[in-house]
A and B are shown apart, each in its own frame.
Chain A
Amino acid sequence: MMRSSPWLHRRRSVDHVMRDVLFALIPGAALSTHLHGVGVLWNLLLCVSSAALVEAVLLHMRQRPVRKHIADLSGTLTAVLLALSLPPWLPWWQPVLATVFAVSLGKQLFGGLGYNPFNPAMLGYVVLLISVPVNMSAWPAHTADAASAWPYVFGQIGVADLDGLTAATPLDSVRTGLSQQLTLGELLPQLDHHHHLLLALGWLIGGIYMLARRVISWRTPMAMLLGLTLPAALFSVIDGDRFAGPGFHLLYGATIFGAIFIATDPVTSSTTPRGRLIFGFGVGFLTWLIRSFGAYPDGVAFAILLMNICAPMIDRYTPTRVYGTGKGLSPKLRRPS
């Protein structure tokens, strides 16, 4: 095509966007390492390197420019998001498997960057959640010694041998407690909220950075938090013993991380302004539904994948109002005669 106007272009490209998101993840990742140990970094290493490798192979097979698409950093970002979602201690092949799945079936097989309907990181995460649920719920207790986990990572001991090193996550323990007819009044005080508050703050700092850099829109995260906290508030008022309030849902699980870094993935979420509100609200509401009534303690990943399916339809039914059409039709100015 012959070049024509506009002749000016902002010096900002896909890799700048991805880099900004990676920068935004630094505070949260650092805090997570501080709280969960070097396992976090180990996972990052495993995921990022296997993502690069798999992506390079697939791009080569698809006869696409390998270097250009590795350099767009989208694969790296997927790997980092996946790694930060996983428990820090896992048999080494599990993060690798999840990454391979995310990059190949989640992204490249759909046509690569921009064409994947599902969030690849969440696909990889859910694959592990369904295949190895016991490993996926083994989060290290913060009293645990990282060195003692390496035999587990390399398959010398099983997850059952980790007893005492891992602790149930807050969502897990509340879930178990509720099923044992305990009330939230008894369960909540046992939770260690400092630790989670700190982590949430880490992600929030990244979110503010991305908002300032205009990498994400405020709509999706805000709507997701609203979709989660509104029903939570309503039901905790109705039955405070069984339904946790908004604070609990905001603080624990993948809420803040998901709202800021996962639901905002441009490729797989809605693109229209109103669509983003609906998409975010849907993610929040489904998360609450799954957490409150579903079979899994956390529901962010499932909620996001479910809303990913709806995104194209949401876009279709939430068009922007075009200048000079619809409600904007202006009344005619009339000269007073």
Chain B
Amino acid sequence: MAFSFFRSNTSGFRGGIVLEGHKLYGEAGQTRQAPIPAELIFPLEQHIGQAARPTVTVGQKVLRGDVLARADGLISAPIHASTSGTIAAIEERPVPHASQLKARCVVLQSDGQDQSRAEPLWQVPENPLAISHEALIDIVRQAGIVGLGGAAFPSAVKLNPKDTSATDTLILNGAECEPYISCDGAAMVENADDIARGALLLKTLTHARQVMVGIEDQNTTAIASMQKAIAKLGDGCICVKPVATRYPQGGEKQLIQSLTGLEVPSEGLPIDIGIVVHNVATAAAIWNAVANGRALTERVVTVAGSGVKQPANLRVRIGTPIRDLIAFCGGYQPDVEYRLLMGGPMMGFDLAGDSLPIVKATNCILAGSTQDLAPPPDPMPCIRCGDCVEVCPAGLLPQQLYWHARAHEFEQTQKLNLADCIECGCCAEVCPSNIPLVQYYRFAKTEIRVADQERRKADQARARHEFRLERLERAKLAKEEARRRKREELAARQAAQKAAASTDADATASKAPPSSTKAAASPAVQAALAKARQRQEMERSESSASQPEARKTAKSINALDALKSTAARPDS
């Protein structure tokens, strides 16, 4: 059975590196409630998938929990007001994204009352564990819950696999492998019960056989607190599994490998091997939505780095500008030059400024000193030391990918499975030549994506062109065929007339019946051919046929063919 494929414990994943933690564990990591700011900004696109559509108008008053924007399409998530106030604007604002571009946001002016909606948006069940799988998916969707580990993939989609009986193992990801980030660690200490109940809820409703909570072995307080909370549930199939403290242990694929020994197929999903992974904070958010009717309007964010005076874990309303959090943490260290990142120092991206808001995906704001995040010395040539191969958790050959990406040999990079690169940055971290390897991979991936799109466009254009040529050719053939038939008919008629004349003249000749079939067919054929000709002429006039039109033409040509074959049959 499945058990035989399980390694008993955490032999871990391939490669990876050991990084200094800089974590706020224990007392230092206790979550503090961040104040509600005067202005909150809600980017409409703060999850993977379609941007949400605003459902409010400027000037409208909203309460906490009200929908500001609804999900648009299947892979999308609604956005809720995280406090009460008035909609000040719906406009383009800079948003926290690696591209540093602007995007549409709903701006909420807080009224300071922080009033919540009286009624939840959905019916709160008396026994959360007794609701149906569909009801769970519906609540999770309505609550706007997305993966809180940083990817922000709509959780409802993850809970709704094509094969609803496919989930064997549920994994809760509590392995915060990036340095500085400790928000999940804090949640597992302070919110352990909600996480555990969320685990039980997900297990019950997805009919998973077991739940594993993966936590890095150095985070002993979280392990102890989660074990205690899970023991209260009295379900032996939910357990805490300490995993090695090694970056990138918290990568979905890596954690799956560490806990089960299995690998997610390349270009596949965990559900393909019967596994679903949720972040621990997501599990707590799901529990809160189902049991307490709360939409996702707040999250825990780590504010860290030597650029900020009092690093802390903060419970933050979604939409809070970063500068309010920094101010709450005592402000910036006056003598420290810093770089502001969202996320950790290995995979985070840098922010244009601190006016940007906290979004659902924000697990960490890192004001790292420019010393801590100092750029490496100038790159040297690759000396092929192979250190990158040793640490790559995806089992790739980073230095060969680099050679090919640098030489713009993108096909070669694809052959070497560039798509399986998770951009964890281990290779660049260890590279003694300080080559910005991940940037080369991103460049190659972008080029491949662009080329793919262009190829698809070119394919369409070519198909359209070939179709047009074929259509013209067929029209030409049809015309010739029509001419030939007309000539034949004419000849036949003349011959018949001649024959009739000769029989009249002879008066004694036997009566040979004229080819009756031909005579019967000819009016019908002529009518059809005339129609076809007309159509052809019309088509010729609209020479630049777009696809639907081309399809129509195809239909008419098919009709013509059918007519021809029925008309021709009696002839032969």
Which residues of B approach A to under 8 Å, CB–CB? 1-2, 5, 14, 19, 98, 165-169, 179, 207-209, 253, 257, 260, 262-268, 272-275, 339, 341, 343, 345-350, 368, 373-378, 380-387, 389-390, 392-397, 399-400, 416-417, 420, 423-425, 428-434, 436, 438-439, 442-443
Contacts and interface: CB of A to CB of B under 8 A. Distances in A.
A334 B3 CA distance: 10
Contact of A323 (B5, B253, B442): B253
Nearest to B346: A6
Interface string A257-275: 0000000001101011100
A280 to B, nearest CB: 13
Listed from nearest, the 5 A-B pairs whose CB atoms lie closest are A6-B425, A333-B274, A114-B381, A333-B168, A330-B262
Given A330-B273, A332-B273, A14 B383 contact: yes
A55 interface: no
Given A272-B397, A324-B420, A1 B383 contact: no
10 contacts: A1-B439, A4-B98, A5-B349, A6-B428, A74-B383, A267-B384, A271-B389, A273-B390, A323-B394, A333-B274
Contacts of B420: 322-325
Contacts of B253: 323-324
B439 A333 contact: no
Nearest to A4: B439
A335 B165 CA distance: 8
B538 to A, nearest CB: 54
A139 to B, nearest CB: 32
A1 B439 CA distance: 8
A110 B378 CA distance: 21
Contact of B275 (A12, A68, A112, A333): A333
Contact of A332 (B14, B274, B400): B274
B386 A325 contact: no
Contacts of A14: 380, 383, 432-433
Interface of A: 1, 3-10, 12-14, 16-17, 68, 72, 74, 111-115, 214, 217, 266-267, 269, 271-273, 276, 315, 319-325, 328-337
Nearest to B4: A331
Given A17-B432, A324-B420, A334-B168, 19 more contacts: A4-B98, A5-B345, A7-B348, A9-B374, A14-B380, A14-B433, A17-B383, A114-B433, A271-B400, A320-B389, A320-B397, A322-B396, A323-B394, A325-B266, A329-B263, A330-B265, A333-B2, A335-B209, A337-B165
B346 A7 contact: yes
Contact of A273 (B373, B389, B424): B389
A268 to B, nearest CB: 8
B2 A320 contact: no
B168 A9 contact: no
A212 to B, nearest CB: 15
A113 B381 contact: yes
Nearest to A319: B397
Nearest to B262: A330
Given A113-B380, A322-B420, A333 B169 contact: yes
Contacts of A330: 5, 262-265, 273
Contacts of B392: 320
B386 A271 contact: yes
B274 A334 contact: yes
A166 B109 CA distance: 93
Nearest to A72: B380
Nearest to B253: A323
Nearest to A216: B385
A39 to B, nearest CB: 31
A1 B440 CA distance: 10
A336 B14 contact: no
Nearest to B2: A333
A135 B390 CA distance: 43
A61 to B, nearest CB: 18
A8 B386 contact: no
B265 A329 contact: yes
A6 B433 CA distance: 15
Contacts of A328: 263
Nearest to A273: B389
In this complex, the member of B375, B380, B439 whose beta carbon has the largest number of chain A beta carbons within 10 angstroms is B380
B274 A272 contact: no
B345 A7 contact: yes
Given A9-B376, A335-B209, A272 B389 contact: yes
Given A12-B432, A322-B417, A7 B339 contact: yes
A332 B272 CA distance: 7
In this complex, the member of B273, B374, B390 whose beta carbon has the largest number of chain A beta carbons within 10 angstroms is B273
Contacts of A10: 429-430, 432
B168 A335 contact: yes
Contacts of A273: 386, 389-390
A323 B273 CA distance: 14
B384 A266 contact: yes
A168 B393 CA distance: 52
A13 B348 CA distance: 24
B397 A13 contact: no
A65 to B, nearest CB: 9
Contact of A5 (B209, B346, B390, B416): B346
Contact of A114 (B268, B384, B431, B436): B384
A114 B384 CA distance: 7
Nearest to A264: B385
A4 B349 contact: yes
Nearest to B167: A335
Contact of A334 (B2, B260, B373): B2
Nearest to A217: B386
A329 B273 CA distance: 9
B172 to A, nearest CB: 16
Contacts of B438: 4-6
Contacts of B266: 322-325
A290 B554 CA distance: 74
Contacts of B208: 335
A8 B382 contact: no
In this complex, the member of B264, B346, B389 whose beta carbon has the largest number of chain A beta carbons within 10 angstroms is B389
B108 to A, nearest CB: 31
Contacts of A337: 165
B402 to A, nearest CB: 11
Nearest to B420: A322
Contacts of B439: 1, 4
